[in-house]
Structure 1
Amino acid sequence: KYESCMFLGYILHIPYICFQGNWASRGTVIQSSTSADMFAEKAIDGNRGLQQLDTGCSSTLNQTNPWWRVDLAHIYKVSRVVVTNRNDCCTEQINGAEIRIGNSLENKATTIPYIKHRCVSGESFGYSCGGMEGRYVNLIIPGDMKTLCVRWRFLEKVFYGLNAALWRTASQSSQFDDWISRYAVDGLRNSCSHTNPQTDPWWRVDLLNEYNVYRVAITNRDDYALNGAVIRVGNFPNNVYSNTICAVISTIPSGATANFSCKGIEGRYVIVHIPGELKTLTLCEVEVYGYLLGRSLL
C-alpha cells in the first residue's frame, strides 16, 4: 500500500529497509519550541553538527514535556530507531527521552511511550520497535524544565517500502507466445508472464544484491488459478529446490493481489514455481519487499 522507503537522514534515517534515499527531508517536522536558531528542520538537514552544535541540531527551549516530531505522510511499520546525542556540555539533557510512534496528534506525542534510554555524549543508540505502526515519530522528554536537543535518528521500516523487484532481470522456464517474464516486474498488473504447459514451470527475478526478504506480493490473472505455486528465496538461480520456501500459495482469487510473509529470508533471487506435470505458470506482478543484507544503519 505504501510503496516508498523512508530514509530519515540525520534525525530519521530509514532503510527500510532498506533502500537508499533521504525521505525524512520530504517529511514535515515540528517541535514544541525553538532555542535560538536550532530549528526542528536541522535534525533532518544531513548535518550531524558534531563540531558546532547550532549548525546541525534541533533544540527546544527549557520547558515542560518538550517534544520533536516528524510526519511521515503515510503509515509505516517501524522496526528500528537510532538516536545520536549531542556531544557538548549538556549531554544529560536527553536522559529519559521517549520515542513514540503512532497516528494521533493528541498532546503532540503519539501512543504509549515505547523506549527510554540514557544516551552518552555524541554516541548513537539503536532501538528495536518491533514493527510498530504509525505516521508520526516523536521524541519527548516528560517532566518540568527539560530541553530536547537531538542530532539524528535512523528509522528502519520492514514490511512496506520500495519494490526491489521492479524492472529487475526476470526469466522463466519457457515462454508462451509473447508473454515475456519481464511483464511480471513492469509495475503493470494487467500485463502478465506466461510459460508453456510443462513439468515444474518456474519464474525468477534477480534482485542483483542479497536481501532480507520480508514480503512478496503476487497478482494473479483474472482467469487463472495459482493453487499450489511455491515462493522461494535464495542464492541458487539454477536449482529451484535449493532455495528456501517462503510460502505455498493455496489460492489467490482471479485478478487479486495476495501478500506472503517471508520473515527475512536471505537471498538474491525470488522464484515462483509450480511442481507437477503439464503445469502452466502465469504471473501478472511479483513485488518483493525487504532490505539489503548486511546494510549498515550507522
Structure 2
Amino acid sequence: MKTQAAKRNTKNLALKGTAVQSSTLSYTYGAANAIDGIRYAPGVASSCSITAYQLNPWWRLDLLDSYKIYKVTVTNRADGWLEQTAGVEIRIGNSLENNGNNNPRCGVTSLVPAGSSVSFSCGGMKGRYVNMYLPNIQQYLTLCEVEVYGYRARTGQNLALKGTAVQSSTHSIYGASNAIDGIRYAPGKASSCSHTLNDLSPWWRLDLLDIYYVYNVTVTNRADCCLEQTTGVEIRIGNSLENNGNNNPRCAVTSLAPAGSSVSFSCGEMNGRYVNMYIPNIEAFLTLCEVEVYGTVKKQVVRVQVKAAENVDEAELKELVLKKVDFILLI
C-alpha cells in the first residue's frame, strides 16, 4: 500500500503551473506547450515549446507555491533536431535572480533519443520555480513536455494572517495591514498593498503575537508599476524591537521581481516574533502587496520545583504546580 507521500508524488505538479520562456520561435510554440500533458503529438514539434535561436535560452515553470521536488521528466521532440534538448540544466529554487537560472542545479540532460522521456532525481530540492537553461551557447531550446513530481514544501497555515502590522509611515489608503489581508493581487493601482511614504530607511513590521520557527517568507510585488519599491528589501526576523525590529538577524534580501509575482525565501528555522521588511540607508517608498510567513510555534518548557510535605495528596500537589506556572507566566 502506498503512503500518503508516495500518492502525492504521483501527480504531475506542472499541469497546475504557468510557464514562460526567453523568446518564442512562433506563436504556435509557446512555453505552455511543455506543460499541456501531451508528451508526444505527430507533426513538426507538435505540442512542444521552442525558443528563438539565441544565446542562453531558457524556459521557466512557476509551480505557484514552494514544493519538495523529487523527480523531473523531460520529453524530446520526435521529428529531429535532438540537440535542442541536450545539455539543458535543470534548476530548482525560489529565486528569480537571472530569471531563475541561478537557482541550484538538479541535473543536466544528455542527448535524448527522438520522442523519448528521461527522468532526473532531484532528491527533494525545494523551490517554486523549475528552469530549463542552456548556458553559454547560441541555440534553440525545445521541450515537448516537462513533468514535475513532489509535494508541498511548507506545512501549516500562513501565520501572517493572524498577526498585526505597522510601518514607518503610510501613503494615502495603503496601510500596513493590506500586506497581510490574504490577497496577493487585486486589479488597480497598488490595490490591496501596503505603501509607505518616501522615507529614509522605510520599514514594515509584522507581529506574529508569539515566537515561531520561521521556515519560509513569501513576498508579492505590485502588478501595476514601480517594481523597485519591493527591491532590495531586507527580511529580518527576531524578538527584539530595537531600531523598530530592524536590527534583528537577516534572512534574505529581495531582488527585482516581475510585476505581480511572488517570491519565496527560505529562512532555515530562524526564530522570532517579529518579521520586518526594511530598506536601509536610502530614501524610498516601500510597497508590499502580500507578505506570507510559514513556520511552527517555538515550544517553551517551564520547569517548576515544588517542595511538598509527605502528606500532600495528588490534587493538592497539582494545585501547587498550577499556581507556580501561573506565577511564572505573569512575570
Q: For this structure pair, what is the TM-score category when the shorter chain's length is used for normalisation? A: 0.3 to 0.5
* Greater share of residues in helix: 2
TM-score for both structures, normalised by structure 2: 0.43
Choose between structure 1 and 2 for higher RCO, CA contacts under 8 A separated by at least 6 residues. Answer: 1
Which entry has the higher C-alpha Rg, 1 or 2?
A: 2
